[in-house]
Structure 1
Amino acid sequence: MIKDDNLIQSHRKDEHVFIAEKLFNTESKNQLNEIKLIPSNLPELSINDIQSSVELPNFSFQSPFYINAMTGGSEQTGILNQQLAEVAAITNTPIATGSQSIALKDPSMAHTFKILREKNPNGLIFSNLSANATLEQAKRAVDMIEANALQIHINAAQEIVMPEGEREFYWLKNIETLVNRLEVPIIVKEVGFGMSHKTVQQLADIGVRYVDISGRGGTNFAMIENERRHAKDFSFLEDWGLTTAESLIDTKSLQTGLTIFASGGIRTPLDIVKCLALGAKSVGISGAFLHILNKQGQDALTNTILDYQSKINMLMLLLGTKNLSDLTKIRMILSPELQNFKNQI
């Protein structure tokens, strides 16, 4: 029975990738398009002055974005992890793996995750597990890929739609244990439904120092799970949660106490810069990079990431900002809808 359960879970990994590509939309609904950044016509800067690297207490990023959690757990997704790891190594881009829970249950699938470290021996890599993972499981997941940090995903909306998903969500105490006892930093991550001020405050109160708000607007795991059901009766959750822009606005007052990453429907270098201007320290990208890898191949994704790195610096120059701290001080105009949201929180 355990072997059958593992095969089902491995197949689900393949389904997620297939459906994510099927539902991929080049136009995001994360509301970043409703933010206008005011440029500087006299930047008084050279492109060589721009410093877009990220220095954090536990690690540093060459550029302010990373390849976010996606794959692993089946032979097919293991190949994707290999390709992503090779791209990450060439471009010096941090990378997070998909959930390693299946490899903890079925060690024969561990190689689909270990390939990340094998192909990217010196890179910054994040492990990934659910919020109910035990300390022992967390240690095994980190050791499996010699991870620099562990993403703990909180995904109640996805689980509740999944027929075989969890139905109990008592997570805070367990997350606190992992934060206090795991040797690497914990990054608590949503999976595309955004985080509110209340949620991030709860996490800060138990010692969490890294949060990925992962807003609505990109990959929607409720809709992915809905596609797997015979009776599609959860389509009303298509617009569930807070968008990426709303999540960053709602949690802005907490940005001095912890490090906030942003993800959710990121499509362009301008999207990245807008998230940084709203206070995110770095930006995660999943769906857009996976789409390029699937449709155009590994070299195309490598070139895209190198292009993003260059264009972020160009955009920072056009805004008259020398570094990421300056970027948070620029003027911006919110759409009436976002301004109304800001006024009500």
Structure 2
Amino acid sequence: MNRKDEHVSLAKAFYKGKPNDFDSIRLIHSSLPELALKEVDLSTKLFDFNLSSPFYINAMTGGSEKTKEINRQLAIVARETDLLIATGSVSAALKDSSLIDSYSVMREEYPEGKILVNIGGGVSVDNAKRAVDLFETDGLQIHLNVPQELVMPEGDRDFRNWLSIIEEINQQMNVPVLVKEVGFGMTRETITALLSTGIQTIDVSGQGGTSFTQIENARRKKREFAYLDDWGQSTVISLLEANELTRNFQKVASGGIRNAYDIFKALCLGADAVGISGTILNSLLSHGTEKTIALVEQWKEELRILYTMTGSQTTADVTKHPLILTGYPKDWCEARMIDPTKYSMRNIKE
């Protein structure tokens, strides 16, 4: 079986919408939100793009006939719901032109949409430029996936100079650049290193959803790396880490987003936008395009209700809503010298 097809099959098999650190966030109720549902504005900004919703379809797949059809359907969902979308990693297509149409199908189905093209952390500047031109995309998404590559039987083994390559790409591209993890999360130290390259938009993409170490381990004969299934920091913890930095940058959250409530909690924790992969893919493969479109529209309506309940007229207002951290995220804060009361005491007025 094609490796990309294996990834899709295993991602669906392992998808459970399992408990994760978003369950450790408790939102504080306000009895007087002073807001009407019709006043709510879900829009947000990513780069200089004006997005009508605070979430989008994140990078997933491509590289085979099966995944071409998946990408076509994902693009239709994005088109019909006015969402930004990212291609899966196009590194394979840059090496084998016969795979190009499994990604370019997105632009064919969504000619007016905002699309990001995804490449790996070690891809050269020339190939980054080729990817943007080849797939006619509006931005570049660079993924960081060291644990996945190391567990992958045929994966990369040399990760030197990634930071300098990212800096060079960022300096030479004529479209905006986003750097993302693939579900292992980030810390202050990693984010600071990325900011030093000039990168201004970072997807902390934490553990809690699809586990690429679990997927790659399932492809190994001995399956000896099962203990890495939950490697890394969660999305919640990664946002808490990101918020400790005083430098201004765009925060994106992905990883373990199961529903509208998780989207809302990520926004409460400071995310400017939220990327979703596994839940969208599972819906598409299990229920089809139309029901996935309906699910996205349902999330929008649920978010309008959540915004109203918390007196948040705009996405920017959501980040001011108070919340309580419990469980492991609270323990992490203690261990990493993060003050959790800054979240619980928001908007306190005499």
1:127 paired with 2:117, answer yes
On the 8 A contact 1:215/1:244 being kept in 2, the answer is: yes
Quote the offset at 1:103 in angstroms. Answer: 0.9
**What is the match of residue 34 of structure 1?**
24
1:288 to 274, 279, 287: 279
**What is the match of residue 343 of structure 2?**
none
**What is the match of residue 86 of structure 1?**
76
1:313 to 279, 298, 304: 304
C-alpha separation in 2, matches of 1:109 and 1:337: 43
C-alpha separation in 1, matches of 2:315 and 2:97: 41
On the 8 A contact 1:113/1:144 being kept in 2, the answer is: no
Once the two structures are superposed, the pairs formed by residues 225-264 of structure 1 within 5 Å of their partners are 225-254=216-245, 256-264=247-255
Residue-pair matches, total: 335
1:328 paired with 2:304, answer no
- Large movers: runs of 4+ above 3 Å: none
**What is the match of residue 3 of structure 1?**
none
Encode CA deviations 1:64-121: one digit per residue, 9 max, x unaligned. 0010110111000000000000111110011011000111111111011111011001
C-alpha separation in 2, matches of 1:234 and 1:331: 39
1:20 to 7, 11, 14: 11
**What is the match of residue 114 of structure 1?**
104
Quote the offset at 1:220 in angstroms. Answer: 0.3
Which amino acid letter does the alignment assign opposite residue 294 of structure 2? N
CA RMSD of aligned residues (A): 1.2
**TM-score between the two structures when normalised by the length of structure 1:** 0.95
Which amino acid letter does the alignment assign opposite residue 142 of structure 2? I
Quote the offset at 1:336 in angstroms. Answer: 3.8
Which amino acid letter does the alignment assign opposite residue 308 of structure 1? W
Encode CA deviations 1:23-63: one digit per residue, 9 max, x unaligned. 0012242x011000112221111111111101244212110
Which 10-residue stretch deviates more, 34-43 or 211-220?
A: 34-43
1:160 paired with 2:150, answer yes
**What is the match of residue 57 of structure 2?**
67
Which amino acid letter does the alignment assign opposite residue 122 of structure 2? N
On the 8 A contact 2:206/2:233 being kept in 1, the answer is: yes
Encode CA deviations 1:314-336: one digit per residue, 9 max, x unaligned. 10100111112221111101114
1:303 to 289, 294, 303: 294
Encode CA deviations 1:282-334: one digit per residue, 9 max, x unaligned. 11110010000001000010000111111111101001111122211111011
On the 8 A contact 2:24/2:329 being kept in 1, the answer is: yes
On the 8 A contact 2:210/2:255 being kept in 1, the answer is: yes
C-alpha separation in 2, matches of 1:57 and 1:16: 30
On the 8 A contact 1:142/1:149 being kept in 2, the answer is: yes
1:276 paired with 2:242, answer no
Quote the offset at 1:255 in angstroms. Answer: 7.0
C-alpha separation in 2, matches of 1:319 and 1:68: 27
Q: Percent identity?
A: 43
In structure 2, stretches of 5+ residues that fail to align are 337-350
**TM-score between the two structures when normalised by the length of structure 2:** 0.94
Which 10-residue stretch deviates more, 50-59 or 98-107?
A: 50-59
In structure 1, stretches of 5+ residues that fail to align are 1-7
C-alpha separation in 2, matches of 1:71 and 1:238: 20
Measured at CA, do residues 169 and 278 of structure 1 come closer, stay the same or move farther in structure 2, by a change above 3 Å?
same
Task: Please give the secondary structure, in 1, of the residue aligned with 2:3.
Answer: helix
